[in-house]
Amino acid sequence: MDATNVQRPSQWRWDRFDPKKTTTMEWASRNCVGADRAMESSHRLMQRQVLTEVKSAEHIIKSELHQLIYEAANITKMSYCCKQTQQTLPCLNRNDLRQSWVQDGSEENMKRLAWIFYYYGTEIHKIGRSNLTHGEWVERKVMNALNIVYVHLVDLPIGQKTCLHQLYSKKFNDFRTNVMRQSPSLQHTSRITKEQPKVPGMFKKNFKRAKATFFMTKKVNESTAWQKVCRPYMASAWCEGLF
């Protein structure tokens, strides 16, 4: 292919959009360049462009998250009971995961969910994706698909993530929350989290969590019911022969 026919990538600031807010004309205007960058028409055009880019990025991220969940659920042998046939079926998607959680709040199933939500996409994914977490890998896929590169990364504050990585995190968190959501007709008491519960006297302060350590409870309304669960073999036992 002639080098002159290769489209140059679009240049993005790390904060091109805010995943938690709708992109306004004022926000989009900071990405305008050229002689017409101060014109309202340019700001409106940029706003439409950014909104279209975010929609495209969301589509790719959601698709990859569904694939991630499908793989992780298959590895952990997560299942649920079909209400119509009463048969035990493997979890294939987010709705199946929710059914499994609703039906089975056991410690073993909570560990499966912890592995799926907090371990597979980070620690395990790096083994087969050139040391990239799933979020980092998906971000690169989006950048390649949209033909973009970041600029001014030197201005990225320490600890701050790029807009695409923030969008991935938001979609993943929405996904996890949707699976374990409460409703007027469902008040599930089993919970799993990677963050140490803030219960005075139960856990050590300044605790540094091991990567295969999580916290679970079967009585979420009782603060003293939280317990630390750590199964060192949980990572290897579910990953033999993966890579």
Q: Is 208 a member of any domain?
A: no
Q: Is 96 a member of any domain?
A: yes
Buried b (16+ CB within 10 A) or exposed e, 201-220: eeeeeeeeeeebbbbbbbeb
Q: By CB neighbour count within 10 A (0-12 exposed, 13-18 middle, 19+ buried), where does 159 fall? A: exposed
The pLDDT tens digits of the residues spanning 113-143 come to 989 998 899 888 888 767 899 999 999 999 9
What is the pLDDT, as a whole number, of residue 81?
96
What is the pLDDT, as a whole number, of residue 66?
96
Q: Is 211 a member of any domain?
A: no
Q: Is 223 a member of any domain?
A: no
From the list 173, 179, 159, 171, the residue with the least C-alpha distance to 57 is: 171
Are 12 and 150 in contact by the 8 Å Cβ rule? The answer is yes
Are 137 and 165 in contact by the 8 Å Cβ rule? The answer is no
Sign of CA dihedral 190, 193, 198, 201: positive
What is the pLDDT, as a whole number, of residue 2?
55
Q: Is 41 a member of any domain?
A: yes
From the list 192, 108, 175, 101, the residue with the least C-alpha distance to 135 is: 175
Q: Is 239 a member of any domain?
A: no
What is the pLDDT, as a whole number, of residue 232?
44
What is the pLDDT, as a whole number, of residue 89?
96
Q: CA neighbours within 13 Å on the CB side: how many for 16?
A: 28
How many distinct structural domains can be found in the chain? Answer: 1
What is the pLDDT, as a whole number, of residue 243?
42
Q: By CB neighbour count within 10 A (0-12 exposed, 13-18 middle, 19+ buried), where does 71 fall? A: middle
Range of the domain at 139: 7-186
The pLDDT tens digits of the residues spanning 21-59 come to 988 888 888 777 777 777 888 888 889 999 999 999 999
What is the pLDDT, as a whole number, of residue 237?
56
Which regions of the chain are under pLDDT 70? 1-5, 129, 206-207, 231-243
Q: Is 200 a member of any domain?
A: no
What is the pLDDT, as a whole number, of residue 54?
96
Q: Is 217 a member of any domain?
A: no
Cα dihedral 190→193→195→199 (10° resolution) = 10
